[in-house]
Structure 1
Amino acid sequence: MAGFRSAVLLAATLAMGLSAGLFFAFSCSVMPGLGKADDRTFVETMQRINVAILNGWFMLVFLGALALTVLAALLQFRGGDRRLLPWLIAAAVLYTVVLVVTGAVNVPLNDQLAAAGSLDRIPDLAAVRETFESSWVGWNTVRTVAATAGFGCLLAALVTGARSAL
């Protein structure tokens, strides 16, 4: 059972790290790069990204990070090293922030951008961009910080578990 607990914790850490990395990549490269693009390029690219990201691999990692973290906490609670629990609970809470922000802010903004329609039918690309960009970027920063902090908590849990095994 200890091997299974470790595997779940490792998988949770990997999934959360991948999610944190995705949000970080948007924060430090994708959005700053698009920020320098013209309105048409910005809107078109974000519309395409928002469609492309909805795939099985993304959803597995995005939702799996929380599911695996909660499972890791339950497994530790039921017979593992309880010293890991504060780290696991903190990671789950931080990643819940990511999911809440995504569902409450970023996805509705993505939906508004999609609802603007085809580029040829949008009369004012600058207005569409203006209602989307700064809010989306700001809340993505919140997701980046929360996911990265959650990843750090899972790394701390791994280190704590490894130290107790020595």
Structure 2
Amino acid sequence: MKRPIRSTLLGLALASALILAGCGATVPVRTMSQGYVTEGTPIATVHEAVLRAAELRYWRVISDDPGVVTLAYPSGPKAQHFEAIVRVNYDARNFRVEYVSSRGLNEGHGCTQDKDVVCAHRNVNNWMINLDKDIRRFLVLQPRTGTTAPARSQEPAKTPTK
């Protein structure tokens, strides 16, 4: 009789440890800082940077309206099991990546003492941070208006006359 009780207790202890370890993966969803755009950058360039960063990180475009792009991660078959949705608001001066919702990523409230804080799997923050970094990187790589050197004259060189 001792053997089944010991096995049962050991099994319960192991199950409890696994459950508690899984709960530790839930963290408050970060509010991303506003990204500033260099003066003179056209809004189309900001839009293009958002789409390029999304493509690079395998985000799927859900909607693309003027000034706001809604994205879902991941794209492909993994989206059947879990998904994070963010909104990127942008204009010619700044942009911001904002969390909207998630599915299959332990979304909820209560991972902190503040019950109003939205919590989700820790990877949601990492995905948002990487998207934000890549938008910033693509904006830096974009040519800016008004910063190019003046074009050289295309007139043929004059030869000295005798």
Q: TM-score, normalised by structure 2?
A: 0.33
> Higher relative contact order by CA 8 Å / sep ≥ 6: 1 or 2?
1
Which of the two has greater helix per residue?
1
Q: TM-score, normalised by structure 1?
A: 0.32
